[in-house]
């Protein structure tokens, strides 16, 4: 085919693809068409001449002796050529060489032309999908935004994002959220799939802890610049969340920087999450102290860790005054659930008896006493 490079450049420009990738896609289209219209058992190659801008399709055929039995085999004979016949095409050919025989698909009529057109469309479309797949695969866990174009009967929300449509399933939507066509929303890319039947599909989420983390990256400059690191996060979407923060700069308070003046930064994130209450906790590598902080607003007397890092049933036994137990548990158990999610441990609460409680009142309370212990 003549002027194939002009066609490649036009397709690459229109689809936003690399010309080299389009060229390989067109080669595959020619080879598949040859297999479909000439012989599926033969081996074909395609080559583009940059000087003439033309594409040549050829069949590789093996040269054998004139009396070779393969020449009389009905199933294999079309893959081989006798030495004498090959010499008529190339005087220098020898037994065992691969002779290249040109094929012009135009010689195979309208069927071949129609098949080639379909193959080119298919391979270019697959190339576009692969490009999109790689683009959004690299964005898993990142925030994207788009406009709602459809909400189906199962309340799955479809969002138009640049050149592709993504879906926000109902299960990945914060409880109480209602979206309408035309709304603009933010979410994180949760999953990207591609298959021959349905092409590329992108699933979004607004309930993932990663969504909370990405919102904080947008809202808090210290987090964006790396002066504050989000070590861990846990959410019960739309209700409450806990985030563990670590400062990499001695003059930066991780909790204060994240909350902002009068809570302006954390409130902005909370508003995006339908009023989700967000607890900011300073991270520490001392597990007992970290658990005491995570159990806030409850005041903890002591923490004992049972098990080791390889133990999946690692447990923290938390001792606290009886009047702090309801705070530790939280409404519907939400506080202790989040604490367990954030620490990765099962948490068991043990109430102090009367004497221990009185003795505890004489000391510094809760987390302050633990802070002093580990200083």
In degrees rounded to 5, what are phi and psi of residue 285?
-80, -5
**How would you classify the pairing of strands 240-247 and 277-282?**
parallel
Mean pLDDT over 176-191 rounds to 94
Span of 87-91, 157-161, 228-232, 322-326 with lowest mean pLDDT: 87-91
pLDDT at 252 over 90: yes
pLDDT tens per residue across span 195-220:
877 788 999 999 999 999 999 999 99
Question: What mean pLDDT is predicted for residues 279-286?
Answer: 95
Over residues 176-182, the mean pLDDT reads 92
- Parallel, antiparallel, or unpaired for β 143-151 and 157-161? antiparallel
Q: What does DSSP say about strands 164-168 and 43-49: parallel, antiparallel, or unpaired?
A: unpaired
Report the CATH fold assignment for 288-375: GMP Synthetase; Chain A, domain 3 (3.30.300)
CATH of domain 140-204: 2.40.50.140
- Whether the pLDDT of residue 325 is over 90: the answer is yes
Per-residue confidence band for 59, with pLDDT thresholds at 50, 70 and 90: confident
For residues 275 and 296, what is the distance between their CA atoms, to the nearest angstrom? 19
- Per-residue confidence at 39, pLDDT binned at 50, 70, 90? confident
Give residue 290's pLDDT. Answer: 95
Residue given tokens 């603009």 in the structure block: 184
What are the start and end residues of each CATH 3.30.300.20 domain in the chain?
Answer: 208-283, 288-375
Q: Can you tell me the distance from the alpha carbon of 173 to that of 117, in angstroms, rounded to the nearest whole number? A: 43
Q: What is the pTM of this model?
A: 0.74
Residue 346 to residue 233: CA distance in whole angstroms: 16
With pLDDT > 70 as the criterion, what percentage of the chain qualifies?
A: 91
What pLDDT, on a 0 to 100 scale, did the predictor assign at position 76?
Answer: 67
Domain span(s) for CATH 3.30.1480.10 in the chain: 4-136
Query: What's the pLDDT score for residue 291?
Result: 95
pLDDT over 80 at 228, yes or no:
yes
- pLDDT bucket at 365, cuts 50 / 70 / 90: very low
How far apart CA 249 and CA 40 sit, in angstroms, is 66
pLDDT for residue 363 is more than 70: no
pLDDT at position 78 is 72
What is the reported pLDDT for 103?
A: 83
Buried b (16+ CB within 10 A) or exposed e, 182-217: eeebbbbbbebebeeeeebbbbbbbbbbbbbbbbbe
Whether residue 258 is predicted with pLDDT greater than 50 in this model: the reply is yes
What does the mean pLDDT of the chain come to?
87
For domain 4-136, the CATH superfamily is NusA, N-terminal domain (3.30.1480.10)
Q: Which residue did the predictor score with more confidence, 374 or 208? A: 208
| Confidence grade of residue 367 (pLDDT, cut at 50, 70, 90) | very low
Quote the pLDDT of residue 309. Answer: 65
Residues of the chain with CATH 2.40.50.140: 140-204
CA nearest 163: which of 131, 126, 119, 190?
131
Structure confidence by residue, pLDDT tens digits, 347-357: 999 998 655 55
Q: What is the pLDDT of residue 321?
A: 92
Can you tell me the mean pLDDT for 56-63?
85
Please state which of the four CATH numbers 3.90.226.10, 3.40.50.720, 3.30.300.20, 3.55.40.20 is assigned to the domain occupying 208-283: 3.30.300.20
Name which residue leads in pLDDT, 53 or 143: 143
Higher pLDDT, 83 or 36: 36
């Amino acid at each position: 085919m003549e002027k194939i490079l002009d066609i490649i450049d036009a397709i690459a420009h229109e689809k936003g693809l690399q010309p080299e990738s389009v060229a390989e896609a067109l080669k595959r289209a020619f080879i598949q068409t040859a297999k479909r219209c000439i012989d599926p058992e033969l081996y074909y190659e395609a080559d583009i001449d940059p000087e003439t801008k033309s594409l040549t399709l050829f069949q590789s055929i093996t040269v054998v002796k004139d009396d070779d039995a393969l020449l009389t085999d009905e199933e294999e004979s079309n893959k081989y050529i006798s030495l004498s016949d090959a010499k008529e095409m190339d005087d220098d050919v020898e037994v065992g060489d691969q002779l290249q025989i040109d094929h012009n698909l135009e010689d195979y009529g309208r069927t071949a032309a129609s098949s080639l057109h379909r193959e080119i469309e298919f391979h270019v479309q697959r190339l576009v999908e692969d490009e999109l797949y790689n683009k959004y695969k690299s964005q898993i866990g990142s925030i994207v935004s788009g406009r709602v174009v459809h909400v189906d009967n199962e309340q799955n929300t479809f969002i138009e994002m640049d050149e592709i449509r993504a879906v926000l399933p109902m299960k990945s939507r914060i409880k109480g959220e209602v979206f309408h066509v035309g709304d603009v929303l933010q979410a994180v890319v949760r999953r990207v799939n591609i298959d021959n039947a349905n092409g590329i599909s992108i699933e979004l989420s607004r309930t993932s802890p990663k969504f909370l983390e990405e919102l904080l990256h947008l809202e808090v400059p210290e987090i964006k610049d790396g002066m504050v690191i989000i070590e861990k996060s846990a959410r019960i979407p739309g209700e409450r969340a806990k985030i563990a923060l670590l400062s990499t700069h001695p003059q930066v308070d991780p909790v204060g920087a994240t909350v902002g003046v009068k809570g302006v930064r954390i409130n902005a994130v909370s508003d995006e999450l339908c009023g989700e209450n967000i607890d900011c906790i300073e991270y520490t590598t001392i597990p007992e102290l970290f658990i005491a902080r995570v159990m806030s607003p409850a005041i903890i007397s002591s923490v004992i860790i049972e098990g080791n890092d390889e133990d999946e049933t690692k447990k923290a036994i938390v001792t606290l005054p009886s009047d702090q137990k309801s705070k530790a548990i939280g409404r519907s158990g939400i506080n202790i659930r989040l604490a367990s999610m954030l620490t990765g441990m099962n948490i068991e609460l043990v109430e102090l008896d009367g004497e221990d409680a009185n003795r505890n009142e004489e000391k510094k309370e809760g987390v302050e006493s633990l802070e002093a212990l580990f200083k």
